[in-house]
Amino acid sequence: MEAALAAPGWLWVVDPIDGTTNFVAGQPMSAVSIGVAFGGELRAGVIFEPFRQELFSAVLGKGARLNGSPISVSVRAASLAEAVIASGAPPNPRSAAPCFRAMTCLAPPRTRTLRILGSAAINFAWVACGRLDAWFEPDLSPWDSAAGALIVREAGGRVTDC
């Protein structure tokens, strides 16, 4: 993502329908995601989930919010066995195989439960507000992660690319 954000000046990173497959199938689990960078650094992000009327937002150095109220990542799971973890299901077979292997390794009883929601933006938002303890997915594009990465960081979480 850093390479994509490296443009000089202002850069808007927009995903008009994150969770497109959910949206097309009539499943109420999609969102609009907008990240704003300046000089290669994420400065603001918003994720709007229209089915629940939830607006997740963050401004660099100002914290993260849900409908205007401050949010923070979960601290409820004292161990991996207590964690609610989500994963993506990438359509690329090269990425899907290791992702599904990871899901097998994290399946209960190693974790409390494992979920696949179908929207990177919602996964980021739910980690930020504590509904999920963790989430992983390979091969995300900048429009999948720009807003969500900032929201999670501003909510006290950590975002890695491994």
What would the pLDDT profile of 5-49 be if each residue is shown by its tens digit? Answer: 677 789 999 999 999 999 999 999 999 999 999 998 999 999 999
Average confidence (pLDDT) over 66-85: 95
Task: State the CB neighbour count (10 A cutoff) for residue 134.
Answer: 19
- Residue 93: is the preceding peptide bond cis (ω within 30°)? no
The pLDDT of residue 150 is: 98
> What's 60's DSSP letter?
T
Angle between helices 120-128 and 142-154 (to 10 degrees): 0
Instruction: Provide the sign of the torsion angle of the four alpha carbons 97, 98, 101, 102, taken in this order.
Output: negative
pLDDT band at 95 (very low <50, low <70, confident <90, very high): confident
Rounded CA separation 40/34 (Å): 15
